[in-house]
Amino acid sequence: MDFEVIFLTLKLALITTFILLCIGIPLAYWLNYSSRKWKVWVETIVSLPIVLPPTVLGFYLLFCFSPENWFGKFLDNWFGIRLVFSFTGLVIGSIIYSFPFMIQSIRTGFSQIPKSYMNEALVLGKSKWVIIRKILLPSMKNSILTGCVLTFSHTIGEFGVILMIGGNIPGETRVISIALFDEVEKLNYHTAHQYSAALLVVSFIVLFIVYSKRNNPFRKK
């Protein structure tokens, strides 16, 4: 078993989870509390990766990132960035692919907090930023944890998007799911078993954490 594959997979999952957490909290807050009419457009776009086959998403990303097209050309010409078949491209693809898992979990957390919390904290003279930081987020830490572990595990297991935009470049885009596929194609079942077992164990641990923590976020420990 190639440990570089494991390291690269974990690195991709961690970076994706961290970036999605940073984007997810403000976006989920906005989706939960905003009453803008065009919110439904954002909700639909955010949820698309749930229903869209990963290969479709991967194909569009490949099309978009390709230096043959205007966006890819723009990135290449102006910033010297090539996203296809690169680790950075994988991170962006993973972020888009796992978007709904993080957003929906955090949004559920916000929606479970009674509106009276916000009013009570506002009349105590606190700014919305302080309320989010000191009241809302700590009250929904289980939802945040759920979002993080789902995103992490989803990224570890992702295949279609990565194959489309990343290919199979060792040390750059060869993550565990791709390596597993590759080993099976080579009829190298022993290594395939090792990769599968690694994925199975990680997935089990992640789901175990989610289910053991998924209780009422307002219940005192």
Partner 1 sequence: MMKIQIYKEFFKSSNQFFIDVDFSMKKGSFNALYGGSGSGKTSILNVISGIKYADKGKISISDIVWLDTENKINLPVNKRKIGVVFQNSVLFPHLSVYENILFSKDKNDSFDLMNELIELFSISDLLNYSTDILSGGQKQKVAIVRALIRNPDLLLLDEPFSAIDTEQRKQIQDSLLKAHQKLKFTALVISHDLEEVVRLSDNIFMIENGKIVKEGSAFSLFENKDEQEFIRLSGIILSIERIEAVQKMKVLIGNEIHTIEKEKSNHQIGDRVEIEAKKSRI
Return residues touching partner 1 (CB under 8 A): 114, 116-117, 119-127, 134-135, 138-139, 218, 220
Q: Locate tokens 């641990």: which residue?
A: 205
Cα–Cα dist 200/191, whole Å: 14
The closest alpha carbon to 9, from 61, 42, 17, 124, belongs to 17
Q: Which of 134/186 has CB closer to partner 1?
A: 134
> CB of residue 124 vs partner 1: minimum separation in angstroms?
4
> CB of residue 122 vs partner 1: minimum separation in angstroms?
4
Q: Which of 101/110 has CB closer to partner 1?
A: 110
Tokens describing residue 83: 């996203």
Q: Which of 121/176 has CB closer to partner 1?
A: 121
> CB of residue 117 vs partner 1: minimum separation in angstroms?
6
> CB of residue 218 vs partner 1: minimum separation in angstroms?
5
Q: Which of 190/220 has CB closer to partner 1?
A: 220
Q: Which of 122/200 has CB closer to partner 1?
A: 122
> CB of residue 120 vs partner 1: minimum separation in angstroms?
4
Contact 17, 152 (CB under 8 A): yes
